[in-house]
């Protein structure tokens, strides 16, 4: 039974739409995407309901022949998901919405074009395509992440001392070895992860990041510099004997507003811009120190999928010995739009963009 008070929702281009399944419909609603696309699209056949203001966001123009058209960019990465095996998905959308879909040629960039007899069917087809793109995006490996570097020389030195002491005192504990420690030059806090599949999406990410100084930092810095202290370690699961990731705790030393509020607000800016799908209600304030995923992927981003053979480690003794370990304090001066699987000349990740953290008058 459909719950009309709590309908399903989907985010498309930073806007949230309600998905209402029709009570009666002559079409087949038990639709499953072709196996070649690798996912089920349960929302695909549902009716999408949204407010008039959101509908007006769609640029629909009337052609000389009386038909209507809308065009919008889709990264080449997702075109195959929308077309489907042998064009099956494209044909299905066209048949159900009485529209014609046009795509850029293989290997070419350009807009997807929807042509139909009226505004309503054109918008329906566009929403169906965009929902397919959003679902396909969730299947892609992350390309970028918003990060705060915590790799100044003093913090790196203390981290290396921590690593040395852990290996000396706890090196016999199950699963503890040098391979699972973070590279000191890449110590950072991850605020959120995202998929930016082409130049247009990367520019969207940069545009959202460049709005943060005025929309977030100016609002919350209140004329103060950002000073933080890194002290103590923690883990997220319930069993210290079966740990995959060990974190360093971050505490703000000078903020008129909480570091949590700042971090959440930065992510909100990217969610509103449509470049980030919200994964958690709040940002976890932490710095990865040890991660069993580093055995397979020394990338440093902890929000990744790893192989089934991932081996946990016993952190009981580490927590007992180093639970309140002091890594030092520092002044944070930049936020990065970092690129995964890269290393810059500084030893940190390469960045598609950066913004400075400067004191702003209240």
Per-residue model confidence as pLDDT tens for the chain (362 residues): 445 445 555 555 555 555 544 433 333 333 233 333 333 343 344 444 443 334 446 789 999 999 999 999 999 999 999 999 999 999 999 999 999 999 998 877 789 999 999 999 999 999 999 999 988 988 899 999 999 999 999 999 999 999 999 999 999 999 999 999 999 999 999 999 999 999 999 999 999 999 999 999 988 887 788 889 999 999 988 899 999 999 999 988 876 568 899 999 999 999 999 899 887 889 999 999 999 999 877 664 544 444 456 889 999 999 999 999 999 999 999 999 999 999 999 999 999 999 998 765 55
pLDDT at 306: 46
Strands 144-149 and 188-194: antiparallel
> Across the strands, what pairs with 251?
229
> Read out DSSP for 168-200?
HHHTTSTT--GGGBPPGGG-EEEEEEE---SHH
Contacts of residue 6, defined as CB under 8 A and 6 or more positions apart, other chains included, come to none
> Which two tokens mark 117?
């007899």
d(CA 270, CA 253): 26
Angle at which helices 88-97 and 119-138 cross, to 10°: 150
d(CA 331, CA 357): 10
d(CA 124, CA 12): 13
pLDDT at 17: 55
pLDDT at 46: 42
Residue showing tokens 């709040």? 282
pLDDT at 55: 40
What sections of the chain are H helices per DSSP?
52-55, 76-83, 88-97, 119-138, 153-170, 199-212, 218-221, 259-272, 316-322
pLDDT at 59: 82
pLDDT at 229: 92
pLDDT at 109: 78
Given a contact cutoff of 8 angstroms between Cβ atoms, the answer to whether 244 and 293 are in contact is yes
All domains in the chain, ordered by first residue: 8-138 (3.30.1370.10), 144-356 (3.90.1140.10)
């Amino acid at each position: 039974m459909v719950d009309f008070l709590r309908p399903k929702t989907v985010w498309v281009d930073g806007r949230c739409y309600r998905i209402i399944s029709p009570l009666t419909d002559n079409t087949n609603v038990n639709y499953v995407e072709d196996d070649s696309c690798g996912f089920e699209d349960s929302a695909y056949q549902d009716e999408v309901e949204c407010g008039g203001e959101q509908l007006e966001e769609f640029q629909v123009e009337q052609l000389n022949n009386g038909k209507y058209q809308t065009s919008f960019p889709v990264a080449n990465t997702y075109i195959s998901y929308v077309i489907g095996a042998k064009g099956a998905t494209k044909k299905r959308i066209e048949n159900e919405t009485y529209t014609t879909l046009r795509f850029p040629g293989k290997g070419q960039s350009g807009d997807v074009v929807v042509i139909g007899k009226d505004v309503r069917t054109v918008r329906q087809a566009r929403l169906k395509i965009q929902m397919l793109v959003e679902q396909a995006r969730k299947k892609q490996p992350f390309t970028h992440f918003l990060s705060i570097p915590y790799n100044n020389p003093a913090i790196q030195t203390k981290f290396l001392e921590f690593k040395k002491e852990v290996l000396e005192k706890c090196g016999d504990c199950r699963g503890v070895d040098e391979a699972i420690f973070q590279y000191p030059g890449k110590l950072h806090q991850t605020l959120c992860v995202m998929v930016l599949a082409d130049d247009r999406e990367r520019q969207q990410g940069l545009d959202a990041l460049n709005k943060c100084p005025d929309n977030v930092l100016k609002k919350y810095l209140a004329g103060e510099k950002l000073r933080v202290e890194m002290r103590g370690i923690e883990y997220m699961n319930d069993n210290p004997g079966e740990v995959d990731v060990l974190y360093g705790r971050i505490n703000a030393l000078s903020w008129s507003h909480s570091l949590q509020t700042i971090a959440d607000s930065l992510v909100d800016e990217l969610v509103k811009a449509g470049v980030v799908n919200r994964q958690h209600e709040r940002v976890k304030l932490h710095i990865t120190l040890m991660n069993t995923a580093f055995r397979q992927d020394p990338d440093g981003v902890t929000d990744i999928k790893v192989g089934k053979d991932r081996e946990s480690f016993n952190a009981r003794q580490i927590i007992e010995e180093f639970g309140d370990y002091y890594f030092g304090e520092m002044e944070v001066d930049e936020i990065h739009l970092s690129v995964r699987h890269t290393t810059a000349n500084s030893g940190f990740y390469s960045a598609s963009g950066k913004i400075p953290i400067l004191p702003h008058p209240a």
